[in-house]
Structure 1
Amino acid sequence: MANPPFNQSDWGVNILQEDGRWKYGVPPNGNANYGWLQHMLYHLAPRGVMATVLSNGSLSSNTSGEGDIRKNFVQSDLVDCIVALPKQLFYNTGIPACIWIMRREKSQHHKEVLFIDASEMGFMKDRVHRDLSNEDVDLIAKTYQNWRKGENYDNKKGFCKSATLEEIEKHSYVLTPGRYVGIMDVEDDGIPFEEKMKILTTTLKQQMGKEEELNNEIAAQLAKIGFTL
């Protein structure tokens, strides 16, 4: 398990160009994300598993060959699970991050990747920081564990999807979970569309009238001190 620096630049590609770790492609000089991933893969045992936190950009970037490296990961069936995390989860950056789980050898779910979208989960711990509750963490962990065991797992729209490599290929090997899990269904409240629009237009008319009253009041107050709009 690791949490390497996000999007690290100038990491030494000039002296590591021919390094044996770059089996799936040489990482670009301006970003070490795929260098870290391959470094960890290189040191895994034959049946090893790794999990690391990276910026969301690692899931979709095509800069300087990163898309080709990601494609090689997928085609080699190394990617086990991708979890999209909420933004504002870390104290040193507000950008959203993700968890990559990769395996050298899959005992099951060959040529499948589990996508979990937890980007809207959690609660605001304070004005600028978000946190995941114990229930959130348990749900993510159990979803992954159940999928791995093949027990009590079902795709859940808006949250999780077990996608085939063919599906991932159709998305040009972009691994952003939202592309696969879709948007959660909105529960129908039973109110007819025409009735909703009548309520909304009435409310809007009231608000526009109130705005006009406030504008007139502001103009009157300014006039008292010698200013006109």
Structure 2
Amino acid sequence: MVYRAIKRSVDIILSLLGLILLSPLFLILIIAIKLDSPGPVLFKQKRVGIHKSHFNILKFRTMYADTPKDVATHLLANPDQYITKMGKFLRKTSLDELPQIINILKGEMSIVGPRPALWNQYDLIAERDKYGANEVPVGLTGWAQINGRDELPIEVKAMLDGEYVERRGLWFDVKCVFCTVECVCKRDGVVEGGTGTLIRQEVSSVKEQG
């Protein structure tokens, strides 16, 4: 109970500070997106939150407006044809995720937790049920994100989400945040149009080192 209360307080404080401090960057990105291609600045998509509740996740739009909806990027036949020039930059730098600060402020997400699945990613949702990973707040970043991200097969991603559930606490959350900064700087784990490219043995090795 204490951990959850502190975690929520930290989420509120940091998301408010983030919106204030990053507002100039938000403005620059909004202008760049509008100049790059027609369509809305923000992209909304139904995702699965805590206790498998649904909410609309917010991202800066990285694809053309006519891209098929509710389809994970790795399931598109040729995702590169749908991604805008600005979108490629946003995805590589993870800046497209910044609007989720609003989701965090609203209490739909946390800073750290399993990444919210698409509402129709039934295989991932079912795998997470095995580890209790659907019963904790979803996050902007998480343990699976810093141990492979797009490269992880669904079974391994759910397993790492389950490990987060077992190990979660304030210090572990801080570790996830610092590791996320390192991964973003290195641009680790971003694979457009593909998932599961890390073999299980490699992920297990990373997991043991963590």
Is this a same-fold pair by TM over 0.5? Answer: no
| TM-score, scaled relative to structure 2 | 0.31
More helix by share: 2
Greater relative CO, 1 or 2 (CA 8 Å, sep 6+) = 2
- Larger Rg belongs to: 1
Q: Which has the higher strand share?
A: 1
